[in-house]
Amino acid sequence: MASEIQYAGPTISPATAGKVEDCAICGNLSFEVFADLGRYRVLSCPSCSTHLRDPTIVDPVDDRIGDYEARQGLFEKQTADRILSAVDEIQPVRGDCLDVGCATGSFLRQAETRGWRCHGTDISAIAVAKARVAVPSGTFEAGSFSKNTFSA
C-alpha cells in the first residue's frame, strides 16, 4: 500500500507530489531546511525568505482550468473592461501592464486590445501556457519580475 501525504486539505498520494526545484517567488535554486517533519520538509529560500513544502503538492485545480475558463469568460471580460476603464482615468498613457495571478490571460487579453504592453505571472505553469496563447505578444512567467518594471 502506497504511503500518503497529509496536508491542510485532501489526502494525496506521493504520485501527485513533486520535488521543489526552484523558488516559485524569486527563482532561487538553493534552500535551507526550515523544518524536517518526517513526511515532508519545510524549506526556506535564503533569497526571499519564502517557505516551501518539499515535496510540493500538485494542485488539482490545474486540471479544471478549462471549466474555469468556460464559466468565467463573460464575467471576466466585463470585469476587465470595468477595471481598465478605471485605469484609463488615472493612467491615460499606455505602458506596461502587469497582472499578478494572471491565470489564463483573460484580463491581459482585454488590456492588449486597449493598447497596453502585457505581462503576467502566475503560480500555475499550465495557466501561464494558456495565457501565452491568449496574448502572444505578452510576456509571461511562472515567477517574478524585477522592481520598477511596470507602469500599471
* Span 16-63, pLDDT tens digits: 456 677 777 778 888 888 888 887 788 888 888 888 878 776 666 566
- More confident call, 62 vs 103: 103
How many beta carbons lie within 10 A of that of residue 66, not counting itself? 10
Q: Kindly report the pTM of this predicted structure.
A: 0.51
Least confident of 5-19, 38-52, 62-76: 5-19
Q: How far is CA 113 from CA 51, 127, 140, in A?
A: 38, 20, 17
CA atoms of 106 and 103, how far apart (whole Å): 8
